[in-house]
Structure 1
Protein backbone atom coordinates (compact mmCIF):
# COMPACT_ATOMS: atom_id res chain seq x y z
CA UNK A 1 0.00 0.00 0.00
CA UNK A 2 2.87 2.36 0.80
CA UNK A 3 4.41 1.69 -2.61
CA UNK A 4 1.14 2.62 -4.34
CA UNK A 5 0.94 5.86 -2.36
CA UNK A 6 4.59 6.56 -3.22
CA UNK A 7 3.85 5.99 -6.90
CA UNK A 8 0.86 8.35 -6.87
CA UNK A 9 2.97 10.96 -5.06
CA UNK A 10 5.73 10.56 -7.67
CA UNK A 11 3.27 11.02 -10.54
CA UNK A 12 1.79 14.12 -8.87
CA UNK A 13 5.26 15.55 -8.26
CA UNK A 14 6.45 14.93 -11.81
CA UNK A 15 3.23 16.39 -13.18
CA UNK A 16 3.32 19.59 -11.14
CA UNK A 17 7.03 20.22 -11.68
CA UNK A 18 7.02 19.20 -15.35
CA UNK A 19 3.98 21.30 -16.18
CA UNK A 20 5.37 24.31 -14.29
CA UNK A 21 8.74 23.93 -16.03
CA UNK A 22 7.07 23.73 -19.43
CA UNK A 23 5.06 26.87 -18.70
CA UNK A 24 8.21 28.68 -17.59
CA UNK A 25 10.08 27.84 -20.80
CA UNK A 26 7.15 28.91 -22.98
CA UNK A 27 6.82 32.21 -21.11
CA UNK A 28 10.56 32.83 -21.30
CA UNK A 29 10.32 32.41 -25.07
CA UNK A 30 7.70 35.15 -25.12
CA UNK A 31 9.87 37.38 -22.93
CA UNK A 32 12.80 36.87 -25.31
CA UNK A 33 10.48 38.02 -28.12
CA UNK A 34 9.81 41.24 -26.20
CA UNK A 35 6.70 40.47 -24.16
CA UNK A 36 6.44 41.66 -20.58
CA UNK A 37 4.82 39.07 -18.36
CA UNK A 38 4.12 40.12 -14.75
CA UNK A 39 4.59 37.61 -11.95
CA UNK A 40 0.84 37.35 -11.35
CA UNK A 41 0.33 36.38 -15.01
CA UNK A 42 3.13 33.81 -14.78
CA UNK A 43 1.55 32.23 -11.70
CA UNK A 44 -1.85 32.27 -13.40
CA UNK A 45 -0.38 30.61 -16.50
CA UNK A 46 1.11 27.82 -14.38
CA UNK A 47 -2.27 27.28 -12.72
CA UNK A 48 -4.05 27.17 -16.07
CA UNK A 49 -1.50 24.72 -17.46
CA UNK A 50 -1.82 22.49 -14.40
CA UNK A 51 -5.55 22.24 -15.12
CA UNK A 52 -5.23 22.04 -18.91
CA UNK A 53 -1.98 20.15 -19.50
CA UNK A 54 -1.58 18.44 -16.13
CA UNK A 55 -3.95 15.46 -16.62
CA UNK A 56 -2.53 14.66 -20.06
CA UNK A 57 1.02 15.11 -18.79
CA UNK A 58 0.30 12.66 -15.95
CA UNK A 59 -1.06 10.09 -18.41
CA UNK A 60 2.02 10.47 -20.60
CA UNK A 61 4.64 10.12 -17.85
CA UNK A 62 2.91 7.43 -15.77
CA UNK A 63 3.92 4.42 -17.92
CA UNK A 64 7.58 5.47 -18.03
CA UNK A 65 7.68 6.17 -14.30
CA UNK A 66 6.06 2.78 -13.64
CA UNK A 67 8.65 0.94 -15.72
CA UNK A 68 11.71 2.83 -14.48
CA UNK A 69 10.71 2.83 -10.79
CA UNK A 70 9.95 -0.90 -11.00
CA UNK A 71 13.34 -1.53 -12.56
CA UNK A 72 14.88 0.57 -9.78
CA UNK A 73 13.10 -1.49 -7.13
CA UNK A 74 14.32 -4.72 -8.75
CA UNK A 75 17.85 -3.33 -8.95
CA UNK A 76 17.82 -2.59 -5.22
CA UNK A 77 17.15 -6.27 -4.50
CA UNK A 78 20.49 -7.29 -5.96
CA UNK A 79 22.79 -4.25 -5.91
CA UNK A 80 23.75 -2.30 -2.79
CA UNK A 81 22.82 1.22 -3.85
CA UNK A 82 20.92 3.78 -1.76
CA UNK A 83 17.26 4.21 -2.77
CA UNK A 84 17.82 7.98 -2.79
CA UNK A 85 20.26 7.43 -5.65
CA UNK A 86 18.38 4.73 -7.55
CA UNK A 87 14.85 6.17 -7.62
CA UNK A 88 15.78 9.76 -8.56
CA UNK A 89 17.97 8.34 -11.34
CA UNK A 90 15.05 6.18 -12.47
CA UNK A 91 12.78 9.24 -12.45
CA UNK A 92 15.23 11.27 -14.53
CA UNK A 93 15.61 8.46 -17.06
CA UNK A 94 11.84 7.98 -17.23
CA UNK A 95 11.36 11.63 -18.14
CA UNK A 96 14.26 11.60 -20.60
CA UNK A 97 12.86 8.56 -22.42
CA UNK A 98 9.37 10.08 -22.43
CA UNK A 99 10.62 13.39 -23.84
CA UNK A 100 12.63 11.52 -26.50
CA UNK A 101 9.66 9.32 -27.46
CA UNK A 102 7.05 12.07 -27.80
CA UNK A 103 8.42 13.69 -30.98
CA UNK A 104 8.83 10.25 -32.54
CA UNK A 105 5.23 9.37 -31.72
CA UNK A 106 3.70 12.71 -32.72
CA UNK A 107 6.12 14.10 -35.30
CA UNK A 108 6.59 17.17 -33.09
CA UNK A 109 7.27 17.71 -29.40
CA UNK A 110 3.79 18.30 -27.96
CA UNK A 111 5.18 19.69 -24.70
CA UNK A 112 6.27 23.12 -25.89
CA UNK A 113 8.48 23.81 -22.91
CA UNK A 114 10.55 20.68 -23.62
CA UNK A 115 11.59 21.54 -27.17
CA UNK A 116 15.10 22.60 -26.10
CA UNK A 117 17.86 20.79 -24.29
CA UNK A 118 17.32 23.01 -21.27
CA UNK A 119 13.59 22.27 -21.38
CA UNK A 120 14.23 18.52 -21.41
CA UNK A 121 16.76 18.93 -18.59
CA UNK A 122 14.10 20.76 -16.56
CA UNK A 123 11.71 17.86 -17.15
CA UNK A 124 14.42 15.48 -15.94
CA UNK A 125 14.84 17.54 -12.76
CA UNK A 126 11.13 16.99 -12.18
CA UNK A 127 11.80 13.27 -12.61
CA UNK A 128 14.65 13.41 -10.12
CA UNK A 129 12.42 15.05 -7.51
CA UNK A 130 9.60 12.60 -8.30
CA UNK A 131 11.99 9.69 -7.78
CA UNK A 132 13.16 11.14 -4.46
CA UNK A 133 9.54 11.57 -3.37
CA UNK A 134 8.90 7.95 -4.35
CA UNK A 135 11.87 6.78 -2.26
CA UNK A 136 10.87 8.84 0.78
CA UNK A 137 7.15 8.01 0.73
CA UNK A 138 7.88 4.34 0.03
CA UNK A 139 9.76 4.32 3.30
CA UNK A 140 12.18 1.79 4.58
CA UNK A 141 15.82 2.45 5.18
CA UNK A 142 17.50 5.00 2.98
CA UNK A 143 20.87 3.43 3.72
CA UNK A 144 22.73 1.34 1.18
CA UNK A 145 21.11 -2.09 0.88
CA UNK A 146 23.20 -4.73 2.65
CA UNK A 147 25.11 -2.20 4.76
CA UNK A 148 25.23 -2.63 8.55
CA UNK A 149 22.92 0.38 8.93
CA UNK A 150 20.36 -1.04 6.48
CA UNK A 151 20.37 -4.41 8.19
CA UNK A 152 19.86 -2.87 11.63
CA UNK A 153 23.29 -3.89 12.95
CA UNK A 154 24.11 -0.24 13.67
Structure 2
Protein backbone atom coordinates (compact mmCIF):
# COMPACT_ATOMS: atom_id res chain seq x y z
CA UNK A 1 0.00 0.00 0.00
CA UNK A 2 1.35 3.46 -0.90
CA UNK A 3 0.75 6.85 0.62
CA UNK A 4 1.02 10.00 -1.49
CA UNK A 5 2.14 13.44 -0.40
CA UNK A 6 -0.70 15.90 0.32
CA UNK A 7 -1.27 18.90 -1.95
CA UNK A 8 -0.18 21.46 0.63
CA UNK A 9 3.10 19.71 1.23
CA UNK A 10 3.53 19.14 -2.51
CA UNK A 11 3.12 22.88 -3.21
CA UNK A 12 5.55 23.78 -0.44
CA UNK A 13 8.13 21.34 -1.81
CA UNK A 14 7.55 22.69 -5.32
CA UNK A 15 8.31 26.18 -3.97
CA UNK A 16 11.48 24.96 -2.28
CA UNK A 17 12.61 23.27 -5.50
CA UNK A 18 11.95 26.45 -7.52
CA UNK A 19 13.99 28.44 -5.00
CA UNK A 20 16.85 25.93 -5.20
CA UNK A 21 16.88 26.12 -9.00
CA UNK A 22 16.71 29.92 -8.87
CA UNK A 23 19.55 30.17 -6.35
CA UNK A 24 21.72 27.82 -8.43
CA UNK A 25 21.01 29.77 -11.62
CA UNK A 26 21.69 33.10 -9.95
CA UNK A 27 25.04 31.92 -8.60
CA UNK A 28 25.99 30.37 -11.95
CA UNK A 29 25.21 33.52 -13.93
CA UNK A 30 27.14 35.65 -11.42
CA UNK A 31 30.21 33.44 -11.58
CA UNK A 32 30.12 33.28 -15.38
CA UNK A 33 29.91 37.08 -15.54
CA UNK A 34 32.74 37.54 -13.03
CA UNK A 35 34.85 35.02 -14.91
CA UNK A 36 34.33 37.05 -18.08
CA UNK A 37 35.83 40.02 -16.23
CA UNK A 38 38.77 37.90 -15.10
CA UNK A 39 39.34 36.90 -18.73
CA UNK A 40 39.69 40.64 -19.45
CA UNK A 41 42.38 40.73 -16.74
CA UNK A 42 40.17 42.47 -14.18
CA UNK A 43 41.09 41.53 -10.62
CA UNK A 44 38.06 40.03 -8.86
CA UNK A 45 38.99 39.24 -5.26
CA UNK A 46 37.01 36.70 -3.23
CA UNK A 47 35.28 39.43 -1.22
CA UNK A 48 33.97 40.99 -4.43
CA UNK A 49 32.84 37.57 -5.68
CA UNK A 50 31.00 36.91 -2.43
CA UNK A 51 29.36 40.35 -2.25
CA UNK A 52 28.35 40.27 -5.91
CA UNK A 53 26.95 36.76 -5.56
CA UNK A 54 24.82 37.76 -2.56
CA UNK A 55 23.61 40.93 -4.32
CA UNK A 56 22.66 38.90 -7.39
CA UNK A 57 20.83 36.34 -5.25
CA UNK A 58 18.73 39.19 -3.87
CA UNK A 59 18.33 41.09 -7.15
CA UNK A 60 18.40 38.56 -9.98
CA UNK A 61 17.28 35.54 -7.95
CA UNK A 62 13.59 36.54 -7.80
CA UNK A 63 13.55 37.32 -11.53
CA UNK A 64 15.09 33.97 -12.32
CA UNK A 65 12.66 32.25 -9.92
CA UNK A 66 9.85 33.68 -12.06
CA UNK A 67 11.52 32.26 -15.18
CA UNK A 68 11.91 28.85 -13.52
CA UNK A 69 8.28 28.90 -12.37
CA UNK A 70 7.04 29.82 -15.86
CA UNK A 71 9.21 27.05 -17.33
CA UNK A 72 8.25 24.39 -14.82
CA UNK A 73 4.47 24.72 -14.88
CA UNK A 74 3.99 23.36 -18.41
CA UNK A 75 7.04 21.10 -18.17
CA UNK A 76 5.84 19.46 -14.95
CA UNK A 77 2.35 19.07 -16.38
CA UNK A 78 3.91 17.15 -19.26
CA UNK A 79 5.98 15.07 -16.85
CA UNK A 80 2.88 14.27 -14.77
CA UNK A 81 1.06 13.09 -17.88
CA UNK A 82 3.99 10.90 -18.94
CA UNK A 83 4.21 9.58 -15.38
CA UNK A 84 0.89 7.83 -15.88
CA UNK A 85 2.51 5.74 -18.60
CA UNK A 86 5.89 5.29 -16.90
CA UNK A 87 5.41 5.60 -13.11
CA UNK A 88 8.78 3.98 -12.44
CA UNK A 89 10.48 6.94 -14.20
CA UNK A 90 9.24 9.65 -11.82
CA UNK A 91 12.61 11.22 -10.95
CA UNK A 92 14.09 11.15 -14.48
CA UNK A 93 10.87 12.53 -16.00
CA UNK A 94 10.66 15.49 -13.62
CA UNK A 95 14.40 16.12 -13.83
CA UNK A 96 14.36 16.13 -17.61
CA UNK A 97 11.23 18.30 -17.69
CA UNK A 98 12.85 20.83 -15.36
CA UNK A 99 16.11 21.01 -17.31
CA UNK A 100 14.56 21.15 -20.77
CA UNK A 101 11.85 23.52 -19.56
CA UNK A 102 14.39 26.07 -18.34
CA UNK A 103 16.39 25.85 -21.56
CA UNK A 104 13.20 26.38 -23.58
CA UNK A 105 12.15 29.31 -21.39
CA UNK A 106 15.55 31.00 -21.62
CA UNK A 107 15.73 30.59 -25.39
CA UNK A 108 12.14 31.83 -25.77
CA UNK A 109 12.91 34.92 -23.69
CA UNK A 110 16.06 35.50 -25.74
CA UNK A 111 14.01 35.40 -28.94
CA UNK A 112 11.90 38.33 -27.70
CA UNK A 113 14.47 40.29 -25.67
CA UNK A 114 15.74 43.49 -27.29
CA UNK A 115 19.33 42.52 -26.45
CA UNK A 116 21.01 39.38 -27.86
CA UNK A 117 20.40 37.43 -24.62
CA UNK A 118 18.69 38.28 -21.35
CA UNK A 119 21.14 36.29 -19.21
CA UNK A 120 24.68 36.73 -20.50
CA UNK A 121 25.87 33.45 -18.96
CA UNK A 122 23.48 31.63 -21.31
CA UNK A 123 25.07 33.13 -24.41
CA UNK A 124 27.21 30.00 -24.70
CA UNK A 125 26.32 26.34 -24.36
CA UNK A 126 28.39 25.85 -21.18
CA UNK A 127 26.54 28.58 -19.28
CA UNK A 128 23.15 27.47 -20.52
CA UNK A 129 23.83 23.87 -19.52
CA UNK A 130 25.23 24.94 -16.14
CA UNK A 131 22.02 26.84 -15.38
CA UNK A 132 19.89 23.96 -16.69
CA UNK A 133 21.83 21.53 -14.45
CA UNK A 134 20.56 23.34 -11.36
CA UNK A 135 17.02 23.15 -12.68
CA UNK A 136 17.45 19.46 -13.50
CA UNK A 137 18.73 18.68 -9.99
CA UNK A 138 15.97 20.70 -8.32
CA UNK A 139 13.36 18.96 -10.49
CA UNK A 140 14.80 15.58 -9.48
CA UNK A 141 14.72 16.64 -5.83
CA UNK A 142 11.05 17.63 -6.13
CA UNK A 143 10.21 14.27 -7.71
CA UNK A 144 12.10 12.41 -4.98
CA UNK A 145 10.55 14.42 -2.14
CA UNK A 146 7.02 13.89 -3.47
CA UNK A 147 7.29 10.24 -4.50
CA UNK A 148 4.61 7.87 -3.20
CA UNK A 149 5.88 6.03 -0.15
CA UNK A 150 5.02 2.53 0.91
CA UNK A 151 3.27 2.21 4.23
CA UNK A 152 4.75 -0.14 6.74
CA UNK A 153 2.25 -2.54 8.20
- Normalising by structure 1, we get a TM-score of 0.85
Q: 1:54 to 1:22 in 2, by over 3 A?
A: same
Q: Is the contact between residue 2 and residue 139 of structure 1 (CA under 8 Å) also seen in structure 2? A: no
SS at match of 2:43: coil
Q: Which residue of 1 aligns with 2:49?
A: 42
Q: Is the contact between residue 5 and residue 137 of structure 1 (CA under 8 Å) also seen in structure 2? A: no
Give matches, 1:4-153, under 5 Å. 4-107=11-114, 108-141=116-149
Count, aligned residues: 143
Q: 1:127 to 1:32 in 2, by over 3 A?
A: same
- Normalising by structure 2, we get a TM-score of 0.86
Q: Is the contact between residue 20 and residue 46 of structure 1 (CA under 8 Å) also seen in structure 2? A: yes
Q: CA RMSD in A?
A: 1.6
Query: Which consecutive segments of 4 or more residues in structure 1 shift more than 3 A?
Result: none
Counterpart-to-counterpart distance in 2, 1:21 and 1:3:
27
Q: Is the contact between residue 7 and residue 134 of structure 1 (CA under 8 Å) also seen in structure 2? A: yes
